[in-house]
Amino acid sequence: MRKRIAFLNLQKTADSGQCFLWERMGEQAYRIRHAAHTLTIRQLPRGLFEMDCTPEEWESIWSPYFDLGVDYGAYCAGIDPADAYLRAAARSARGIRILRQELWETMVCFLVSQNNNIPRIKGTLNRLCALYGGFPSPQQLARAGRAELEGCGLGYRAAYLPAAAAQYLRDCEAAPARAACWEDARAYLQTYAGIGPKVAECICLFGLGHKAAFPVDTWVKRILAAHYAEGFPAERYPGFQGVLQQFMFYYERSLLSKFS
DNA sequence: TGCCAGGCTTCAC
DNA sequence: GTGAAGCATGGC
């Protein structure tokens, strides 16, 4: 099927550091796996997209995944006209959407992401998926021994995964996070070994749809130091400061061509 | 070769 | 509560 979609750019979204397992299938085309579903989607000129799913699958699975029910144009229109940096970031990042990813996978991906770089995160996650013939389930990782994970390049993070899987299952698939508001979900997630403030914010933003979450990593720290000495004016952007954080993260990395 | 990466845990103080 | 050290590993 083909469909016209506003405010969606596949390449920018793929390069925005929120998903690590999109498989590039050529120019502006990706194979995306989400829960039990797989989609191949290609971006054509003038906001047109071609995808290999039925209209029903698109509406029930992929439209929510791409957060298409939300007007990103309104987010951009809300930016302070006097904030030249943020306006430039939003212009550069136009087309990035906050993906609504599966919670367990988001937890694993961002556990792996800590003190790591994006090319290596992708490599490690791809090796994990190759080892298990797909994204490892919590049951598989809960059983995984040290020797089993050796070779994936997890480094010291390897110990976090079986422990996180066990807790995730013990807590009925992290039910306390799913039912909670952003602050409570963040606090719950930090009870996992290896999940601190930054990783918890990422999971809230990318795995639970809490767009108020505002992850601060080394890049965002630099941005705040350079452009927001008084702190980012999050109160001006209630409920979507996380989207703007993502725009700034993408923009800052684009200035140094740090994509891969 | 050394620095750095979508940081966290541990341990002094 | 705050700050520094230590952590595995590979991209650059």
pLDDT (tens digit per residue) in A21-35: 999 999 899 999 999
Q: What is the tens place of the pLDDT at every residue in A169-187?
A: 999 999 999 999 999 999 9
Q: Which pLDDT score, from 0 to 100, does residue A259 have? A: 81
pLDDT for position A146 = 87
Per-residue confidence band for A162, with pLDDT thresholds at 50, 70 and 90: very high
Task: Say what percent of chain A tops pLDDT 90.
Answer: 97
Phi/psi for A225 (5° steps) reads -65, -35
With a cut of 90, say whether residue A258 has pLDDT above it.
Answer: no
Catalytic residue among A198, A211, A221, A258: A198
**Mean pLDDT over each residue of chain A, to the nearest integer:** 97
Q: Which nucleotides of B are covered by protein (CB under 7 A)?
A: 4-9
Tokens of A204: 């809230």
In this complex, the nucleotide whose C1' atom is nearest to the CA atom of residue A249 is B6
Separation of CA A28 from chain center: 19
Given a contact cutoff of 8 angstroms between Cβ atoms, the answer to whether A207 and A168 are in contact is: no
pLDDT band, residue A257 (cuts 50/70/90): confident
Judged against a pLDDT cut of 80, whether residue A167 lies above it is answered with yes
Could you read off the pLDDT of A52-97 as tens digits, one per residue? Answer: 999 999 999 999 999 999 999 999 999 999 999 999 999 999 999 9
- Quickly give A115 CA vs B9 C1' distance in Å: 13
Cβ within 7 A of any strand B atom? A 16-18, 110, 113-118, 120-121, 156, 190, 192-200, 202, 215-220, 245-246, 249, 253, 258
Residue A260 has pLDDT above 70, yes or no: no
| pLDDT at residue number A246 | 98
Structural element, H or E, at residue A100: none
The burial class, CB within 10 Å (0-12 / 13-18 / 19+), for A77 is: exposed
Q: Is the pLDDT of residue A115 over 90?
A: yes
Rg (CA), chain A: 18
CA A238 to chain centre: 20
For residue A38, give the 3-state DSSP assignment: strand
Contact (Cβ atoms closer than 8 angstroms) between residue A224 and residue A196: no
Residue A62 CA and nucleotide B7 C1' are separated, in Å, by 31
Å from A242 (CA) to C5 (C1')?
A: 31
* C8 C1' to A152 CA distance, Å: 12
Decide if A211 is catalytic: no
Helices (H), A6-52: 10-14
What whole-number distance in Å separates Cα of residue A48 and Cα of residue A42? 9
